[in-house]
Copies of this chain bind each other. A is one copy, B any other.
Amino acid sequence: MARKLHLNAFLMSTGHHEASWRLPESDPHAGTSLAHFTRLAQTAERGKLDSVFFADSPVLWGSVARRPSSAVEPTVLLAALAAATHRIGLIATASTSYNSPYNLARRFASIDHLSGGRAGWNVVTTAGADAARNFGLDDQPLHRYRYERAAEFLDVAFKLWDSWDDDAVLADKAAGVWGDDSRVRAVDHSGPHFSVRGPLDIPRSPQGHPVIVQAGSSEDGKDLAARYAEAVFTAQQTLEEAQAFYADLKARTAAAGRDPDSIKILPGIVPVIGGTEAEARRRERELDALIRPEYARDELARTLRVAPEDLPLDRELPPDLPGEDEIEGAKSRYTLIVDLARRERLTVRRLIGRLGGGRGHRTVAGTPEQIADALESWSGAWAADGFNIMPAALPSGLEEFVDHVVPILQARGLFRTEYEGSTLREHYGLARPATQLAEV
Interface of A with B (CB < 8 Å)? 19, 21-24, 26, 28-29, 31-34, 38, 57-61, 63-73, 75-84, 98-100, 102-103, 106-107, 110-111, 113-116, 130, 133-136, 168-169, 171, 173, 176-181, 184, 194-203, 205, 290, 292
A196 to B130, CA, bound (A): 10
Would you list the 3 A-B pairs with minimal beta carbon distance, nearest first?
A64-B179, A28-B171, A133-B197
In-complex Cβ contact of A200 among B19, B60, B130 (8 A): B60
- Least distance between A343 CB and chain B CB atoms (Å): 29
Q: List 7 extra interface pairs beyond A72-B202, A76-B107, A102-B134, CB under 8 A.
A: A22-B176, A64-B184, A65-B177, A73-B202, A76-B111, A76-B114, A133-B197
A106-B73, A196-B134 given; A173·B22 CB < 8 A = yes
Give the chain B neighbours of A199 by CB distance below 8 A.
60
A102 to B28, CA, bound (A): 24
A135-B102, A176-B22, A181-B65 given; A201·B110 CB < 8 A = no
| A32 in contact with B203 (CB, 8 Å) | yes
Output the nearest chain B residue to A67 by Cβ-Cβ distance. Answer: B178
Output the nearest chain B residue to A75 by Cβ-Cβ distance. Answer: B76
A185 to B199, CA, bound (A): 40
A58-B103, A176-B22, A200-B60 given; A77·B110 CB < 8 A = yes
| B178 in contact with A66 (CB, 8 Å) | yes
- Least distance between A65 CB and chain B CB atoms (Å): 5
| B171 in contact with A29 (CB, 8 Å) | yes
Give the chain B neighbours of A84 by CB distance below 8 A.
83
Give the chain B neighbours of A169 by CB distance below 8 A.
28-29, 64
Output the nearest chain B residue to A26 by Cβ-Cβ distance. Answer: B173
A28-B178, A290-B176 given; A201·B83 CB < 8 A = no
Output the nearest chain B residue to A32 by Cβ-Cβ distance. Answer: B113
| A134 in contact with B198 (CB, 8 Å) | yes
A75 to B203, CA, bound (A): 18
Give the chain B neighbours of A180 by CB distance below 8 A.
64-65
Output the nearest chain B residue to A205 by Cβ-Cβ distance. Answer: B32
27 A-B contacts (beta carbon < 8 Å):
A26-B173, A29-B171, A31-B202, A32-B203, A33-B113, A34-B113, A38-B83, A58-B103, A60-B200, A61-B201, A64-B180, A65-B178, A67-B178, A68-B178, A68-B179, A69-B179, A70-B203, A72-B113, A72-B114, A73-B103, A73-B106, A75-B107, A76-B110, A99-B103, A133-B195, A134-B196, A136-B196
Give the chain B neighbours of A195 by CB distance below 8 A.
133, 136
A89 to B58, CA, bound (A): 26
Give the chain B neighbours of A106 by CB distance below 8 A.
58, 73
A115 to B34, CA, bound (A): 8
| B98 in contact with A103 (CB, 8 Å) | yes
Output the nearest chain B residue to A179 by Cβ-Cβ distance. Answer: B64
- Least distance between A227 CB and chain B CB atoms (Å): 23
A73-B107, A100-B135 given; A179·B65 CB < 8 A = yes
Output the nearest chain B residue to A171 by Cβ-Cβ distance. Answer: B28
| B134 in contact with A197 (CB, 8 Å) | yes
Output the nearest chain B residue to A113 by Cβ-Cβ distance. Answer: B32
A76-B79, A195-B136 given; A102·B64 CB < 8 A = no
In-complex Cβ contact of A178 among B21, B73, B100, B130 (8 A): B21
| B176 in contact with A64 (CB, 8 Å) | no
In-complex Cβ contact of A102 among B58, B75, B179 (8 A): B58
Output the nearest chain B residue to A94 by Cβ-Cβ distance. Answer: B103
In-complex Cβ contact of A114 among B34, B58, B292 (8 A): B34
**Interface hub of A103, A107, A202 (most chain B Cβ within 10 A):** A103
Give the chain B neighbours of A200 by CB distance below 8 A.
60
In-complex Cβ contact of A201 among B60, B67, B81, B114 (8 A): B60
| A201 in contact with B70 (CB, 8 Å) | yes
A64-B184, A178-B65 given; A80·B79 CB < 8 A = yes
